Every structure is written in C-alpha cells, then in structure tokens.
Chains A and B, each alone.
Chain A
Amino acid sequence: MQVLGTPIDYIIVGLYFAGILAFGAYFSRFTKTTHDFFFGGQRFAWWLITFSLIATGIGSYSFLKYAQAGFMRGMSSTLTYLNDWFMLPLFMFGWLPIIYFSRIKSIPEYFARRFDERVRFLATIFTLLYLLGYIGLNFYLLGLAMKTLLGLPMFITVPVVAAVSAVYVMAGGQTAVIFTDLIQGFFLYIAGAILLILGISHLGGFDAWWSHLDLAHRLPFPGFNRPHDFNYAGIFWSEGVVGTLAFTFMNQGFIMRYLACKSVYEGRKTMTVNTLVFMPISAVVVGNLGWFAASMVFKGQLPPDINPKEVFVTVANIVCRPGIFGFVIAALTAALMSTIDTLINASTAIAVFDVYKKMIKKDESDKHYLRASRIFSLVSTVIGMILVLLFTQSRSIFDAHYTFVAMITPPMLVAIFLGILWHRFSARAAFWSMVLGAIVTFTTGFFPNLITPLASTHGMDKGKTAVVAWLSQDVPDAPEGVHSMFHWQEKVDAGDPTSYFVEFEAKADFDTETPKYSGKAQAFQRVDYVDEKPIYRYSATLAGLRPRTSYVFRIVDDAGTPVVDASMNLVEQYLERHPELESTQFPRPIKLEFTTGGKYGYFRGLFSLVLVLILALIITPFTSKPDKSRLSGLTLWTIAEGKRFFKGGTPNEKPGKPVKVVFEITDESAEAGLRLSDSDLSTLSAQPGDLLYVSDIRKRLGGLRSLHIKAGESHTEIGKAYIPKVLWEESNLLTELPMRVEKIM
C-alpha cells in the first residue's frame, strides 16, 4: 500500500502535538482538588462540554472504519451515529439526575450505595477492564492507522501519542481534557470539512457526486435484516441499544463529562445538541471519503476491486495536497487523544475512588489523593500501551471493537437498569446476576452456537455455505444486456478479450431441504495488464442482492481450498498462488460458493443482555427486599429525594433571572455563603439557603472561573455581593470583573 506524508505534513503534526501539550498543561493551575481533577469542579457550561464530547466520540479509527463502511454500505453507514436519541430519554431524565444529584463519583460507587460493597467490587473489576481495554484498543487502532497512512511502526507512534496525552491529563485532569478536546473537536470538524469540500470538488460538485451513487448507497437505511453483516435490525440492537447504552450509562468517561456540567439542565442541553446536531455532522465527517470512493468507482476513477480497508488512504491521497494531509493526520491523532485522555481520566477515577481510597489508603488528605490521581493516570496509560500487544492478535477492527463491547457490558447494564427501574432488585440478585451473566457472556465467545436460537430469528443463523456454481471454460458465453449489476460493468465490453462475463442460473441449498435461493447469478473475470503482467480480477453476485454488501462469496480452487474470501476479489493473491494460470479464461474450474450468516458480532451483545436480564428476573424473587435507604435518590422513582440530598434542603424550582453583580471578598467562613441584596435575590427568585452558581461575566470561558455556592443572608446594596475568601479562592474568579449569579435550585 502506498503511504503518504511529506516533511511539511510531519511539521504540521509536530506543531499540533506541541500546541496541544502546552494548551493542556496550562490548565493545571485550575486543578487544585480531586473534584477539579475528575469533574472539573462541576462548573462548566453546556456548549463547552458538547464541543469536547464531539472529539471524545470520534476515535482515531473512526475515519478508517467509517470510510470503509461508507464505501461498502453507502450513506447507511451513518446509522451508527444516528440511533442514540431512542435510548437517551432514560439517561436525560433518569440516570443523569440520579448520579448528579446523588453526588456519585464513579459507576462502582453507585453500585455500592444502591447495592453493597460486594457488588461494587465486581463493578470495579468490570469497569476497569472496560476502560483499560478501551485505552489499549484506541492506542492499537491509532498505531494501525498511522502505519497505514505514514508507514510508521506502532512502537514509535503509540508511545509518542501516549506520552503527550498522559502529560496533559496528569497536569490538568478533567479541565485539561475538556479544553483540549474542545480544540481537538474544532480540528476534527475543520479536517472533515476540508475533506468534504475537496472530495466534492474533485468529483465535480455535489450533484455529480450524488448522482453517481447507486440507490442503495444513497438511502439512509440498509435492508431490514439482510445482509447478515450489515442490516438495520442488527445495527439498532447492537449500536442503538447495546452500544449506546454502554457508552452513555456505564462509560465512566462520558458520565464524568456530564458530571462536569454546572447543572443537570446543562447536561441535558449537552446531550440534546450533541445527539441531534453534532452526531449527524460527525457521521458525515468520518464517512465522507467512503461515499466519495463509491462515486469514484462509478465514474471509473477508482478500480472496482479496491480494498475497502484502503479507501481512506487512497481517496485522501487523491484529494489532499502536502500540508493538508498533515492536517488530516493531526486530526486523526486529535481524535485519538481526545478519546484516550477521557479514558485515562476515567480509569484513574475508578482506581482512586474505588480501589486506592477504598481499599488501600482510606483517610488521607485530598492533596494526597490528587498526587495519587496523577500517578494512576500514568499507570493507566502504561497498561493501555501494554494491551496494544494483545490487540495485535485481533482479526479485524470491527471484530475487536464489537467483541470487546459485547462481552464486557451486558452484566453491568442489566444491573444499572434494574437498579434504577426496579426497587425489588436487591444486592444479592445484582451480585449473582452479574457473576452468572458475566460467565454466560464470556461463554458465548467460546461457544457462539449458543446464540443461534436468537440470531436465527433475524436471519443471522450460524452460517451455511452452498455451492453456487463451478466456473470453467465450459460455461456459456455471456448473453447480451447483462451489464446492470455493477457500476463498473458499464466499462465491460463482452467482445473485449480481456473480459469475460457470464450469467447463469444458480441454486443454493443451504440445508439440503429448503432451497434458500434460486435465481440468476453473474460472474465476471477481467484481465488487466500491468507491466505486461496479467492481473486477473474476479467477482460475482446474485441477482437482487446489492453488490459489495451482499453475501460473502468465496472463490475456491478445485480442491475446495479458499483462494480469496471477499465479495470483490483480489486476484493478485490468486496469481501469487497459481502463477501457472496466467493466460486462459477461467483457466481451471473454480468453484463459486456463497455463505450466509456466520458472524455474531451484532447479536452477541443483545443475546447476553436478554439472558442476563432473564437471570436477574429469576434470581430476584429468591432474595430479600432491599432496605429503603438503598433506594433514596438512586432510582427513577426517588429522584426528588436525590434533589433534596444535592441541595441539602427543599429545592426551589421557582423560575428566576440571572443577575450581574460586583463582589467583595470577606473573611467570613464558608457557611456565610454568597450574600446578595434583597432585590437581587428577588430577581433570582432565590432565598437564603438556595443553591446558586456564580461565574465570570465572560460567557466565552464556559464556566472556567465559577463556583456553586449557597445564598447567604441578604443585605440592601443592590448589585453587590459578598463572598468568603475561602470560597472565592475555589472559584478562580478575577476580582477586577463583576460576576454573574444564577440560581440552580
């Protein structure tokens, strides 16, 4: 494969690294406590968190993965990014208020308070495995991407990116993560926009691109449950349900980001704008090169048998110029670092709150835990790098990603869901359903046939192979008018001696009793000469099935050994093995098979989720009811109690308006709170004891200089506030500027 990169590209990437490192390290001055380190002081505005989440949601592999998916599946590759809204109401109105108002620091802490310490221990193990595995996976995928694009080995790229990420996370914690991710999100979108403009321009305009996609590539949905490896039912259940739930409900990194918002309402705004506006844009950013590639194939600008995995680099090579490509590479690393920094911070939170503070050093000062947090950030990074070695054994990007998510998450998700929805769900039931659920989930990885009963309901059975045809010189000549199945068949001339095209009746009996398919099949052989060396290309499809996305074809030799396993076959490989077959059409009989099903990636998660749920429902009635203290503020039905806990009194929900005031620092104790005038309190609709939020008057800071504070006793000086010194120091507010005050509750 051709690799890219000129000196100017490397310079741009180097400058980007240095810039991010300096920018991230700058925020160390805002990190004084563990609350700052992990939750940014819980002070930020929705727009800041939203933009930072853009970058966190896009991984470095997303560009390669979705360019590949976009090329093979067309616009429906975006479905992965567009399913989330269906699952989010429970997050916005349930899970987010529960964890926010209960002041929960980690997912395992929720398990401790809702269930018991035993369940917390299990949850800690699961969550750490999940997060550390993701760190390793992301490092691995970045290394893979850089190897593909620049030809650089993983042992160089991974440590460099890891070092940069680790340094600014250790220095600035969540605040650094949020602000660097803000920059990286912009960077990603700018890179995506550049690629979009260059791609459309290269193809001759939007209409030229759109009209050169076939209908299947233009439509937003794939088939309902066909083909086996990409269909709506599979995507909905795996991405929309299991994937979305895993990311939003049990991904400590995402949850910490929402907890960094200044209020639950800000968290909801973040979720809403991110899901409805930015995720569709992200889908375009990561997938557009694949869509352009499909159009280029149609126009004859790319060969039809281009390896889908090389689509990103191939099209980037066509549309990018030196410098711009460096920008794209920087965007790829931005995508990785913005995901990695979140995961490092999140895994550190678990390590500190649920392991170190809970089991090793219980009663140390906050400064001690802050130091420990920085050390654990480094440890998490190193573990992630070590895991890269394991992921090099993985078969493919998709398999690695889906298998990992599907196997780790079901027991946790079921426990969270039943925990917030079902009062009767007890600690003992949670423990055993998680243990047994984990065993069952892991078992399906080794015995995939266990999934057959469920998978077969969606046509995703265990996978059967049937012989469609034998191709040899004896097959009939190509009839006229059969050049409609592939884009590139427009170029085929039946009289061209370099091409050979056949159409024939095919029958496929998968289980010898019920023919699953009977109809027209087409096979194609073309010979191109490169440096006088013949390159054979074979391909085949069945009528009515979408090219490239249909069933998997295999060309096998007469001994039945697979030569190629792809719907668009790479004949270079074939010739390497059979150099004696260079000059004749279908030089010896080739058996054409096609296979259905056989992959359980999509369904393993759903299967495990259902099974663990059933286990939990069976176990629960045999356990004693949980104590009421285990429910307060921790279930969907007790959120109001959580609100009272958060405020330390009855919430004041009366709507008010923010006020701008100048402030004076006093020597009063923190208990005095923020003292405002009667008039200002009236504008806020607030009373002494209500929870307020004060921030720098400059909204563009997004709450960087701000604080939650109780309203103190009132005075009569309108437009003036008194704040205790100890609280002012926490707020980072500048004395020379007025402050903005709003009521939280």
Chain B
Amino acid sequence: MRRTLKIKTRLVFTVGFVAATLAGSAAVALWRLGAVETGVEQLARSDARTAADVSRAYEQAFTSLRTRLEADATVKGEPVDADSGWPATAARLQRQASDQAARSRGAMEAGGEAVRSDITRGEVAIAAALALSLLALVAVLQLFVYGPVAAEAASLVRVCDALAVGDHTCRVPNPSDTELGRVARALNQMLDNTVTLVESRAERDRMQAAVMKLLEEVSGVAEGDLTVQAEVTADVTGAVADSFNFMIGQLRQIIGQVQAASRQVSTALADLRDVTQKLAGGAEDQAAQAVEASVAIEEMAASIHYVSENASSSAAVAEQSRANAEHGTRAVTRTIEGMKAVRDQVQETAKRIKRLGESSQEIAEIVELIGDIGDRTSILALNASIQAAMAGEAGRGFAIVADEVERLADRATEATKRAGVLVKATQTEAAEVMAAMEDTTREVINRSNIANEAGVALSEIQTVSNRLAELIQAISDAAQQQARGSEQVAKSMTEMSSVTRNTASSTKQTAAAINSLALLVDNLNATVSRFKLPASGGDVAEFGHPRLVAV
C-alpha cells in the first residue's frame, strides 16, 4: 500500500511535520553556536598568525646574525665550528627563541581548544536532540519514503554510477510503477538504446580498424611482395584475410610456377637454340648426304639393272639346264631300256651258250666214243697185223691192210684227241663266256641301277632347274622392281634434298623466332622477378635467369 502512495503526498505529510518541530530550535541553536565558533575560530587563527610572525622574525634575525658571524670567521681565517664561538651561541639563542614561541603557541592553542570543546559539547547536545528528532523523522521516512524510494533511487544511483564510468551494461532491476520506477524504466530503455548504439558504432570502428590493418598488411602485395601474410583474426576480416592469404598463396604458387616456367622456357630456349643450330648444320649435312646418297642409289640402280640382266641370262641358262636335264633323263631312260634289252639278250645268249656247252659235252662224249673206237681199231689192227705175220706169206697182204687200218685208227685217235681238246677248250670258253655273261649281266644290272640313279638325279636336276628358273625369274622380277624402286628412291632423295634445303632455311627462321622468344622470355623474367616469394618455397625472390645469346 505504501508503494502505491505518491511521494509527494508522503513528503507533504512527513516534511511538514518535521519541519514544524525542528526547524526553529535547530536553527536557533545552530545559529548561536555558529557565531561562537566563528569568533573562536577567528581568535585562534589570529593568535596562530601572530605566533608565526614572531617566530619568523626571530628566525630571520638569528639567521642573519649567524650568517654574519660565519662570514667574519671566514674572513679572519678561523675554522668554522658549529659548536663553539659566536655562531654556536647564536644558534643556541635561536633554538631557545623557537622553543619559546612554540610554547606560547601551544598555550594559546590549548585555550582555544578548551573553548572549542565546550562549544562542541553544546553542539552535541543540540545535535543529540536533533538526532533524536531526526531519528524519528528517519524512522518515518524510512518507513514511508526512504525505504521504497531509496532502494529504487539507490538502484538508479548505482546504475548512473556505473553509467558514469561507462558501464552501459548495468540496469535497474525490477522497476516499480512509481515515478522513479518510470524513470528507471526509461533509464533502462535509454541504456538499452545507448548500448545498442554504442555497440554498433564499436563494431563499425573495429571493422574499420581491422580493414585498415588488413589493408596495411597487404599493401606490400601491390608492390609485388608476396611474402606478406595477413593476420587471420576471429572477426569479419578474418575470413577476408584468410581468403586474401589463400589468394596470396595461389598467387605465390602461380608466380612461382610462372618463374619456374619462365626459367624452364629460358633453359629450353637455350637448348632449343643449340638444337636449332645443330639442326641447321644437320640439315646442311643431310642435304650433302642426300646428294651422295642419290649418287650411290644411282650406282645401286645400275648394279640392280646389271643383276637383272644377269638374272635373265641365268634364267636362260637354267632353262637350258632344265632342257638338258630333260634330254638327259630321256637318254637315261633309253639307256635303261637298252640295258634291259642287253640283259635279256645276254641272258638269252647265256642260255644258248649253256645249251652249246651241253652240246659240246655230248660232242665230247661222241668224240670219246670215236676215240675209243679208234683205240680199239688200232689194237685190232695191231693184232690183225700180228695174226697176218703168223700166217706167213699168205697173210702178207692182210698185214699191209692191217697196217693201214692201224694207221687210220691212229689218225682217228689223234683226230679225236684234237677234237676232244677242242671240245674241252670250247667247253672252257663256254664256261668262261657264261661267267663273263653273268658278270656282264651283273654289270648291266649295276649299270642299270646307276642309270636309274642318274635318271633320278637328272629328274631332280630337272626339278631343281625348274625351281632355279622360277627363282631366277623371281630374282629378275625383284631386281627390276628394285631398279624401279631405286629410281623412285633417287627421286625421293632429290625431293628430300630440296626439303632439307627448305628445312635449313626454316631452321634459320626458327632460330630468329627463338631469339625473339628469348627476348620475350627475358621480359617475362624481368616482369615476374618483381614478385618477391618466400625463400621457404625453394624459389628465391630474385632468381637469375639464363641470358640467351643471340643466334
């Protein structure tokens, strides 16, 4: 209920009551006491001032005296002794005077103090009365006014104090519906607004600072210094810095690659220049060699033509050989047939000779028989002759006949002997002829076999000759083809020679182009060498690129 009361109402009641009761007494008492105290105060202040003046006068006097004495002593050449002589005396006097002044000032101060204590006791009494009244007042105020109001005000004060030191976070807790509460509410509202306002501004400032810092950090990049690294903070610019770092990194990588590539291009250009020089030289050599090769190929074509002609001749020879072999084969066949006929005839002849031998045997037997008959006839003739002799004269003619018969028988015997010898010789010859015939037959068979082999060999020769003719024909064809091919090769060599000459001129143009390219690469190197790269990447910031020599 009390919180619903207006402060104005309460103050009307309370202050009216208290003011009525205390105002007069308190005012009077205080007024009086105030006057007394003022007087005392003035008195004490004048005494103190007087004492101070006196003391200061003594001090000055003794000081000047002492100074003069010391000066005299110095002039006279006496040693200055602080504890003896005139200066010491003056100092003692000075101390005494100071003590005296201090004592009198203490006495006056003690008197003033006594008066002041009295006044104070009166003031205490008044104050006690007033305090009692005030206690009552305070109790009332505490009960009705100060309690609720002061608490709220204290909160306000606390908030304001905090605000005074810049603490915008403090708020009045739980504001009532009183005016103070409304004030507190408004204060809270204001604080909230202020805080909001301040926070946005701080944010902006911070961001601006961060952006500035970032710009400062990365300003080197514009001059090509890629070694810089933006600080990555937690605020908004952190992401930017991160992106920037990433971009720098990428840029660094790209520049590094560009530098490396530029170096490689320089090196490659140097190599390329060498190669081009060699190529130009090689093209000239090649042109010369092409000419030599053309000559060689023409010689080769002539050789191939010669080979072709020889192959044609060989083909004719092979054909002749084949024909001869065929002829030989026919001759061998005829020979074999002839030998067969000879063999048959020999066999027939042998048969006949054998029969002849058999006939000779019969003849021999007959001859032997005749011989035997002749022998017997001879014996008979001899006996007849003997018998005729025994017969005496009568048998004389008979003896002659017997003689003659005997002679004939002897002749017959002789003839049969000769016939036998002849027959025997005939038989021997027949046997020899038989053996010879058999030998001949065997020989004929052997010769037939040899002739057969010769025939086989000849037919093989024929086959081989055919094959040879085919091969030689193939060689001839191939040689002709080679001749045509070599002509084409010679033509190609000529074309190649012109191509090589073109290549040589092109190579010179290429060399010129390479020189231009080298200049471009030099420019590129100069351009990219402006960028500084961290040494950690292996790439030095200032790398030397190979200078290209003009071709």
The yes or no verdict on A and B being binding partners is no
Residues of B within 8 A of A (CB): none
Residues of A within 8 A of B (CB): none
